[in-house]
Chains A and B, each alone.
Chain A
């Protein structure tokens, strides 16, 4: 049969290469250093909802992990005074497969030293305009996004208002979310994914900022309002493109967030993961004030070429790999 053939045309690959070239030029002109960090790491990303693929190098060798993002390594470079850096690399995630997902995908990640997340949003906007020829981006708070598209205040969501919202919008949430005592962030993530995201950035890109502190991940907590984090996400045409942080620099807080993730993993029946000591030691020695963002490059290509599926912009997707 023809399964040896690429799943997308060579013309698509030409355009893809052109976009990649533009990305490199963009950062070169801005004095951001391109770096390469490992794909195979001694430590996995510690996240309740991310599963790293493992690599076995030998019978007695310690299990290693394919990176789900280059974040820990890039931050170790920042701690070593690299200054602003960017990277285009492959990232890997177990069980993520669908119209917009492939277990192996291309990530564009960069960090700006002495910048906060607002500055980084502006630069991301400039990059998008250059790559996609789109308008300037909107900026909408997480709360307003919820109020606009689900008529729910995310900070006041209750079991009954969640149920009602699902009913009103003909959503069919899994049982564990409907039960009383269901985790609030799980409900918010569900509404974000199925109800709100499809409405975001239909005309022009939009940054959603002020994520709840409970979803801070690796971002700082807002010092004026401790309910909020300095995390943002980027959406365009109903699709999530990227996630950015004003980066958490406090090693102790980072360590306790890892502990919390591992505790939640254990509660959810998942294996707790080994903590990356080198990353924490790097933070302890001093991460400069910086903001960083990771963008799914395949999705940029999809938008640039008006394609709706990652299979249309990737020569050898999972099935053909």
Chain B
């Protein structure tokens, strides 16, 4: 259990059977009154942010949740296989659990897998990745000034919008948090 005096950003707690990340903690002490901790909690499974207020001295459960560095091995029939780098133990996840991250997953990629009560629940991929364009309309030479974009299919099958001057078979750097093109990768 965590006591309110231990509250801080980044704490992982369990409320109503759900794991949450503490994203804000404000100590409030009205004049001669009871002190409170007002916290914002982000659902680690749902992503929803909730507000809670605790009286000083109240306790909340610790969440049995942690992140493990793993390597993406392969995908087969909608099941994604990962391997723990230290124990070589393998875990499987469904496409639902992978969510949008399938767009950036490359074999051997290092990812963070969130383990809740012993089960993998979600992954975080690196903020930036480099992927090869497997298909896009031909580039327009010299056109670096306009801000127009065109769709490009990358090796994972995801579609990324790229500037007109970018060509098929080129490698591009992508921000995985926004899914946006950053620049042509130096090869």
Interface residues of A (CB under 8 A from B): 47-49, 95-101, 170-174, 176, 185-186, 188-190, 192-194, 197, 215, 217, 233, 240, 243
Contacts and interface: CB of A to CB of B under 8 A. Distances in A.
Interface of B: 4-5, 25-36, 38, 50-58
B32 A186 contact: no
Contacts of A99: 26-27
5 contacts: A48-B34, A96-B27, A99-B26, A172-B53, A193-B30
Contacts of B54: 174
B130 to A, nearest CB: 35
Contact of B32 (A171, A176, A217): A217
Nearest 7 A/B pairs, CB to CB = A98-B27, A189-B33, A193-B30, A172-B51, A189-B30, A193-B28, A192-B30
Nearest to B8: A97
A101 B27 contact: yes
Nearest to B40: A172
A56 B25 CA distance: 32
B33 A49 contact: yes
Contacts, number: 79
A243 B32 contact: yes
Contacts of B26: 98-99
Contacts of A176: 55
A215 B51 CA distance: 28
B35 A96 contact: yes
Contact of A49 (B25, B28, B35): B35
Nearest to A240: B31
A188 B58 CA distance: 20
A197 B26 CA distance: 14
A185 B33 contact: yes
Nearest to A93: B29
A214 to B, nearest CB: 11
A188 B34 CA distance: 10
A96 B29 contact: yes
Given A188-B33, A215-B32, 13 more contacts: A49-B35, A95-B5, A95-B56, A97-B5, A98-B26, A98-B28, A172-B38, A172-B52, A172-B53, A186-B34, A189-B32, A192-B30, A194-B53
Contacts of B35: 49, 95-96
